[in-house]
Amino acid sequence: MSAQTNNVLAILILVVGLAVLVTSALFDNFACALIGGAACTAAIGLYVPAIATPSLMTVSMLVALAIAEVGLFWMAGDVADSGLVRDYSPGYASITGLGQSPNPGHHQVRMTDENGQVVYDVTYSIGQDGFRVTPGTSEDGGRVNFYGCSILYGEGVKDDETLPYFVSTATSDAGQRVAVKNFAASGFGVHQAVKILRVGEARQGDVNVLLTVPWHASRSACIHDWTVGAPRFQRSAGGELEEAGVCPARAPPLPLDIPVLRHSKIYQTVANALATDRPIMDEDIELYLALVSEMSQLSKARGQWFVVGFLPADERYFADTQYSNERIRQSLVKQADAVIDLGLEGAEAAPSTQYPLHELDGHPNRLANQVRAT
C-alpha cells in the first residue's frame, strides 16, 4: 500500500479506536478500553512506520489482556460477589483520624449488577462533622447516639431509610421527641466507636447504641487492607486498653477511583491477590470485646445508657477460635444495659430474601431497617 493509503487507513482505525474508548468510558467496560487502546496504538504504528514494531508488540499485549478480561468475566459469572459494582461520586471519602470516612457534602452512590441493571442509585447527605445526616430528627428531648458499620450507616438506602431515621420516627409516633445522631460509616467497627466516644460531640446524649457483628473483630485487629488509617488499639500487659497509632497499609493501593478499572475482572483478580487477610484469632476477639467494654465504661461514667444491637455472624467465622456467636452474646450481656437481637429470620449472614438490597448484597434495605426499628 502507498503511504497515502496507509495514512487514510490509520485515520479510520484511530477514529474507530477512539469511538470504542468513548464507549468503554460510558459503559465502564474494561475489555472495550483495551480493544480501543489496541486500535489507537495500531493506527499510530501504521501512520508512523518508524515505530511499527513496538506498536505491534503493544497491540499484541492489549489484545491478549482483552481476551483475558473476557475469559475472566465468563469464568467469574457464577461467583457470588463478582457481579455487583458500586460507584461513588468523586471526592466521596478520604482518610481521616477515623480511617476511610465520607467527606461533607451530598454524594451520589450507584450500584449495578452484572447486566448493568441499577440495584440502587441514592444520595448520601454528610454533615460538616463527617457523619451522615438523619433528616427530620428532633433537637428537643433526649438524644440517642448510634455507632456501627455500613449496616447502621445505611449503605444503599436514602437518608430517610436508615435505621436511626426509623428509630427517630418510631419514638415520635409514640409521643416522645428524641434526637438521633448517626456516628456509623461503611467499614467502621468498635474501634472507631471508642475513638468517637472519647472525644467531641459523642459526650452528649442519653443513650449510646452499638450495632455490632462479631466480624467487627477483624476490623479492630486491622486485618483488612481497607482499615488503613483507622485508630488502632492494643491491650497492655496489665490488660488495659491503649491506643497504638493507626492501622498500617498492608499492600500498595490500586487506583480505586477509576470506574472502568473497578468493573474489570483483571483488576479484581489483582486486588484479591494483594489482599493480606488472615483468619481471626482468639486475641482479636478479646480485643474486640475489650473495646465494647470500654464503650460501656465510658457510657456509664457519663450517666448514659449503653445498648447493644447484636447480629450473629456465620459460625464458620470462628473456625480458628474458641468463640461462638452465643459466647460473644453472653459477654455483651454482661457489659451492656441491654442487648437486642436484631436478626431477621436467622443469621445476618443469610437474611431473608425480602430484606437485603440484592441477592448478592446482604446490606439491609428500607424494609429491614423499618422492621428492626420497631
Q: Tell whether the model's pLDDT for residue 34 goes beyond 80.
A: yes
Which of these, 157, 32, 158, 156, lies nearest to 86 by C-alpha position? 156
Q: Domain end: 22, 54, 75, which one?
A: 75
pLDDT of 30 above 50:
yes
Say whether pLDDT at 254 is over 60.
Answer: no
Q: How confident is the model at residue 136 (pLDDT cuts 50, 70, 90)?
A: confident
Is 246 within the bounds of a domain? Answer: yes
pLDDT for position 255: 53
Shared domain for 21 and 146, answered yes or no, is no
Indicate the number of domains in the chain.
Answer: 2
Calpha distance 14→11 (Å, rounded): 5
Amino acid 350: pLDDT: 45
DSSP bridge pairs for 364? 356
Do 70 and 89 fall into the same domain? no
- As a whole-number percent, the residues of the chain with pLDDT over 90 amount to 49
Element holding 28 (H helix, E strand): none
Beta pairing partners, 126: 105, 132
111 in the same domain as 71 = no
Residues 216 and 167 in one domain: yes
Same domain, 52 and 89: no
Across 28-52, average pLDDT: 86
Last residue of a domain, one of 48, 75, 102: 75
- Kindly state the cell numbers that stand for 44: 499510530
Phi first, then psi, for residue 171 (nearest 5°) are -70, -35
In a domain, 185, yes or no: yes
Q: Using pLDDT thresholds of 50, 70 and 90, give the confidence band for residue 348.
A: very low
Domain-embedded: residue 263: yes
pTM: 0.75
Q: Are 339 and 211 within one domain?
A: yes
Residues 292 and 339 grouped into a single domain:
yes
Answer yes or no: do 143 and 285 share one domain: yes
Query: Which residue type does 232 have?
Result: R
Where are the strands (E) in the chain, listed by range? 85-88, 93-96, 99-102, 105-112, 118-126, 142-147, 178-182, 207-212, 231-235, 241-246, 305-310, 338-341, 356-358, 361-364
| Residue 80 reports pLDDT greater than 60 | no
Q: Are residues 331 and 225 in the same domain?
A: yes
d(CA 310, CA 86) in angstroms, rounded, equals 27
Note whether 102 and 48 are same-domain residues. no
Residue 237 lies in a domain: yes
Closest CA to 325 of 315, 333, 335: 315
Q: Is residue 89 part of a domain?
A: yes
Instruction: Retrieve residue 296's grid coordinates.
Output: 460501656
Which of the listed residues 30, 57, 75 is the one where a domain comes to its end? Answer: 75
Please state, in angstroms and rounded to a whole number, the distance separating the CA atoms of residues 156 and 110: 8
Q: How many CA atoms lie within 13 A of 138 on its CB side?
A: 19
Tell me, what's the pLDDT at 27?
A: 75
Q: What is the mean pLDDT of residues 265-293?
A: 83
Same-domain status, 70 and 210: no
Return the minimum-mean-pLDDT range out of 12-16, 267-271, 363-367: 267-271
* pLDDT score, position 201: 65
Q: Specify the higher pLDDT residue, 190 or 49.
A: 190
Task: Give the Cα separation of 156 and 1 in Å (integer).
Answer: 57
| Domain around 217 | 85-373
The CATH code of the domain that includes 123 is: 3.40.50.1110
Does a structural domain hold residue 297?
A: yes
Please indicate, yes or no, if residue 80 is contained in any of the structural domains: no
- Residue 69 and residue 181 in one domain: no
pLDDT tens-digit map of 168-198: 998 876 667 788 999 999 999 999 999 999 9
pLDDT at 231 exceeding the cut of 90? yes
Mean pLDDT, to the nearest integer, of 266-292?
Answer: 83
